[in-house]
Structure 1
Amino acid sequence: MLEFLNDLLWGKVLIALLITVGVGFTVASRFVQFRYFGRMFRILSASQAFQRDQHGHLSSFQALLLSIAGRVGGGNIAGVAVAITLGGPGAVFWMWVVGLMGMATSFLECTLAQTYKQSEADGTYRGGPAYYIARGLGSKWRWMAAVYSLLLLVTFGFGFTTLQSYAVATSVGDAFGVPVLYTGIALAAIVAAIIFGGVKRIARVSEVLVPIMAAGYLIITAIVLVMNIERIPDAITLIVKSAFGLEPMIGGGIGAAILMGVKRGLFSNEAGLGSAPNVAAVAYVPHPANQGVVQAFSVFIDTIIICSSTAFIILLSGIYDPSNMADVGGVALTQSALADHVGDWGRSFVSIALLLFGFSTILYNYYLGENSVDFLSTANRPLAHAFRIAVIGLVCWGATTDLGTVFGFADVTMGLLALVNLIALIGLFKPGLRILKDFDRQIAEGNEQPIFEARKFKDMNIDLKAWDLEPEDVERLRARNEAAGTLQSQT
């Protein structure tokens, strides 16, 4: 049954919906992910990266790091290796396609998450697909919002948390000989110390952890690329030709390349799943589309940069042999490939990278589950504490358990999660474009930082309290309106 559902969802339904939403919004938005590509990098400028929100909210940069902490995980190391093993080098090309389309999808879903976010009593925000379904599509669709929340809880809060713990523990065990039980206990203890501090503590940990793990992985990739610089054009040619069946049969042919590229690409960058919007909504930004731009960039970082790094490490190595891939795959393939480039310490490096990637993803998965629990039973503290204890137990248990069935089940629930969210995004195309047009208009008028005037969008059923502007933005808006009024009277 799991195999049948997987084939149906990933082989037919989701490919059609991903293309519909990704290509459809790309065209309707006039290629927003490319028009604002340069703007994405501004969030990494020194003034932005070290800026702290003066009023207690998470900053846009913190939300970016939190989403990268979730997107960048085992899928970037083990998932890419699996895709190449089963789908051939061509799967990497389709990962790129999914990533570029996914940038537009992520822009739409994260902009909607910001637009329909909800204010909390402690001054924080909550948001995500459950909230934009319930508010954007209307109360009659609240059942669909509840279904989404339940799927998110099962998939990320429980399933993927367990899988990440398993991946981390087995990798550490293979590289350093540490028993998986000890790794599981240590991991559970550290996770417990962080998650009881709430989303702000998770964000502070991500601020430190994400740049270190991403920079380390990119540095080792750069070393590999320099060592094999003359072979890079051949690797790219192999990827492109294999994607269209122009090479001898590798993996499962062109069909397997597309399927594995789409499946592993979505698993890695999560664009269309609706997971990232849950953390995109927690930040204060002066305009919803601003966070859409930032989150589109996180898809680029995950798929086009990090996944490609793993792909080139594998394809440029002497280990990769498409005619004999039966004995090596997943993390072991990436470890063996890096060891072939830099020596045996490469195996340990991959294990450490997977440890950091997996740990950050567990924290991210926890927050997604917590957000679901809060939507299903608002402000239920005993239930929230019970969920935290369950997550800690799953981290410890997952490290010691063979999770083959869990992998299959998680693939199905992830597919259903994407199905619900993509249907919702199609229904919310017009509101998403309306917010983007407001952003475009202000940019065209010369306003470098657009400001969202929520009362002009009351008909969209947004939470006006969640859009109380911070004092500096109120002042900028007042000055802007006064200048516009003066110009109008002169005209």
Structure 2
Amino acid sequence: MDFHDLPFVCFCPLRVSIKTIQKKGDFYMFQDFLTWLNDFMYTYILIFLLVGCGLYYSIRTRFVQVRKIKDVLSILKEKANSDGSDTKQVSSFQALMISTASRVGTGNIAGIATAIAAGGPGAVFWMWLMAVIGGSSAFAESTLAQIYKVKDGADFRGGPSYYIERALHSRKLGILFSIALIACFSYGFNGLQSYNISSALPYYIANYNDTIWPAVIGLILAVLTGLVIFGGVHRIGFITSVIVPIMATCYILLGLFVTLTNITQLPGVFALIFSEALNPKAIAGGFAGSAVVIGIKRGLFSNEAGMGSAPNAAASALVSHPAKQGLVQTLSVFIDTLVICSTTAMMLLISQVPGESGVLDGIPYVQEAVKSSIGEVGIHFITLAIFFFAFSSLVGNYYYAESNIRFIKDNKIVLNVFRCTCLIAIFLGAQADFSTVWNLADILMGFMAIINIFAILALSNIVIRTLKNYETQKKAGKDPVFKASDIGLDNTDCWK
């Protein structure tokens, strides 16, 4: 018997049951429903909310995400324990890395490949545009998370659920957001991250999907993630602050090498991106298949600006002013989309390997593109990169979900049961179907974004007053220190 077909008792019944379900008509009806709901949400609701919110905050803050870049670099140098205490705290840099760990995932590789395969090169332009505009939304949500964070022993926690409850006086809506985030990150995104790394392996294993290996990969990922998430927030901060810069740097260096060795193709690549930005590849399928919608959808999945996820990491940082962490989180959006996503886009378009939705997309598309530029070693590099991107995202995703579990019910038994369900989702994701995991992730993050955008728009005056307070102190030559009473607030825990 071939080892690939070895019937491990603990995996085979699960694999057989999945195969059986997928043959039934009900499964395909469910798939059709997910596709319809996905298209409806982004075409008629989210495209207007995401763009509208980003433009609104960009105008009201005078494009704070661009004009305060110099401040961001100085804030990142600040230490969490600048007061000389021995208590371990999460610094601005570690909070940035935790949020970047979740933003920078396989979406930066597989997501871009899927976007170009489905929406054409023009989708890249819309991702760039959403990153620039969305940076202001990221500033707003992360500033609010800092204002309304709460003390949790030696740590801080917070996020949309907390500022919805405190500032909008609605615990029910806060719980609804928490449920949406937990479902999205613990089950939607983690399943997708696990699937993406699994999808990189068919190159190495013949008939991969019909073997036991997807289950084995799912188990390995679940075990490795379990070792981290049972270690606490400081271990998460340490691992992501080490892994994220290394993996991002190596990936960017590869992209630079491919780009510079094919630099004569760059004018044609940029011309293609801009010319097709308003010329939908899938126009016959309607606006839902256009470069505009696909670019915005994949941009949201990649950088998460306005979605309400990064504020959970932003709240954990110890800073002297909420606006500082708001500014830092704008940099995470730019790192994710303008740097890492662009790296993938350039490698794909320079290769001239034709991507096609449902035929050659996702990880296999990236592998083939890099192989055409640097040979077979490129496939191995992408596989390794996918593992590190996926693992860092699994860790970052869990941190966001844990904060929201504690918002609903701060109980150790509940938390440990939840951790186990996260690991099950990771295990199953490696064996899932392409359309199911992507549609489910898109829909769940869409629900999150709808709730969060309405909240940050309703609280815009608090964000603007906080920014003005920060800028006034900076103009006076001070290191800004925030007091809630200075802007008329009396409902915060940490800024009295």
Q: TM-score normalised to the size of structure 1?
A: 0.88
CA distance, structure 2, for counterparts of residue 306 and residue 218 of structure 1 = 7
Assess, with a 3 A threshold, how the Cα gap between structure 1 residues 361 and 326 changes in structure 2: closer, same or farther. Answer: closer
Unpaired runs of 5+ in structure 1? Answer: 469-491
Contact in 1 for aligned 2:80/2:91 (Cα 8 Å): no
| Aligned pairs for 1:321-332 within 5 A | 327-332=359-364
- Residue matched to 1:454: 484
Cα offset, 1:455, TM superposition: 3.8
Cα offset, 1:111, TM superposition: 0.5
Query: What do the CA deviations read for 1:323-365 (whole angstroms, capped 9, x no partner)?
Result: x666311111111111111001111111111111111111111
Assess, with a 3 A threshold, how the Cα gap between structure 1 residues 155 and 311 changes in structure 2: closer, same or farther. Answer: same
Structure 1 residue corresponding to 2:98, chosen from 66, 70, 73? 66
- Residue matched to 2:467: 436
CA distance, structure 2, for counterparts of residue 445 and residue 189 of structure 1 = 52
Query: What do the CA deviations read for 1:169-217 (whole angstroms, capped 9, x no partner)?
Result: 2314534778222222222221111101111111111111101100000
| 1:109 counterpart = 2:141 | yes
Matched letter for residue 452 of structure 1: F
- Residue matched to 1:309: 343
Matched letter for residue 219 of structure 1: L
Which portions of structure 1, spanning 4 or more consecutive aligned residues, are displaced by more than 6 angstroms? Answer: 47-53
Query: What do the CA deviations read for 1:378-419 (whole angstroms, capped 9, x no partner)?
Result: x21100010111112222222233353343233222111110
CA distance, structure 1, for counterparts of residue 262 and residue 432 of structure 2 = 39
Matched letter for residue 194 of structure 1: V
Matched letter for residue 160 of structure 2: P
Structure 1 residue corresponding to 2:221, chosen from 187, 206, 214? 187
Query: What do the CA deviations read for 1:107-146 (whole angstroms, capped 9, x no partner)?
Result: 00000000110111x22111000001111112xx221111
- Residue matched to 1:146: 175
Assess, with a 3 A threshold, how the Cα gap between structure 1 residues 252 and 329 changes in structure 2: closer, same or farther. Answer: farther
CA distance, structure 2, for counterparts of residue 235 and residue 7 of structure 1 = 28
CA distance, structure 1, for counterparts of residue 86 and residue 56 of structure 2 = 38
| Aligned pairs for 1:31-46 within 5 A | 31-43=63-75
- Residue matched to 2:28: none
CA distance, structure 2, for counterparts of residue 435 and residue 384 of structure 1 = 34
Query: What do the CA deviations read for 1:214-263 (whole angstroms, capped 9, x no partner)?
Result: 00001101101111111112111111111122xxx634489401001100
- Residue matched to 2:323: 289
| Aligned pairs for 1:447-486 within 5 A | 447=478, 449-457=479-487, 459-463=489-493, 466-467=494-495
| 1:388 counterpart = 2:419 | yes
CA distance, structure 1, for counterparts of residue 217 and residue 440 of structure 2 = 24
CA distance, structure 1, for counterparts of residue 53 and residue 384 of structure 2 = 36
Query: What do the CA deviations read for 1:69-90 (whole angstroms, capped 9, x no partner)?
Result: 0000111001111111111111
- Residue matched to 2:376: 344
Query: What do the CA deviations read for 1:278-303 (whole angstroms, capped 9, x no partner)?
Result: 01100101100000110000000000
Structure 2 counterpart SS, 1:244: coil
Matched letter for residue 10 of structure 1: Y
CA distance, structure 2, for counterparts of residue 176 and residue 100 of structure 1 = 41
CA distance, structure 1, for counterparts of residue 403 and residue 230 of structure 2 = 14
CA distance, structure 2, for counterparts of residue 172 and residue 208 of structure 1 = 25
CA distance, structure 1, for counterparts of residue 40 and residue 477 of structure 2 = 48
Contact in 1 for aligned 2:186/2:425 (Cα 8 Å): no
- Residue matched to 1:472: none
- Residue matched to 2:431: 400
Q: TM-score normalised to the size of structure 2?
A: 0.87
Matched letter for residue 274 of structure 1: G
Cα offset, 1:44, TM superposition: 5.7
| 1:201 counterpart = 2:238 | no
CA distance, structure 1, for counterparts of residue 205 and residue 258 of structure 2 = 23
Structure 1 counterpart SS, 2:312: helix
Matched letter for residue 93 of structure 2: F
| 1:242 counterpart = 2:276 | yes
- Residue matched to 1:474: none
Cα offset, 1:8, TM superposition: 2.2
Contact in 1 for aligned 2:195/2:429 (Cα 8 Å): yes
CA distance, structure 2, for counterparts of residue 406 and residue 84 of structure 1 = 18
Structure 1 counterpart SS, 2:489: helix
| 1:213 counterpart = 2:247 | yes
Structure 2 counterpart SS, 1:119: strand
CA distance, structure 2, for counterparts of residue 159 and residue 225 of structure 1 = 33
Contact in 1 for aligned 2:108/2:336 (Cα 8 Å): yes
Say how many residue pairs are matched.
Answer: 455
CA distance, structure 1, for counterparts of residue 438 and residue 276 of structure 2 = 27
Matched letter for residue 301 of structure 2: F
Between the aligned residues of both structures, percent identity stands at 40
| Aligned pairs for 1:5-20 within 5 A | 5-20=37-52
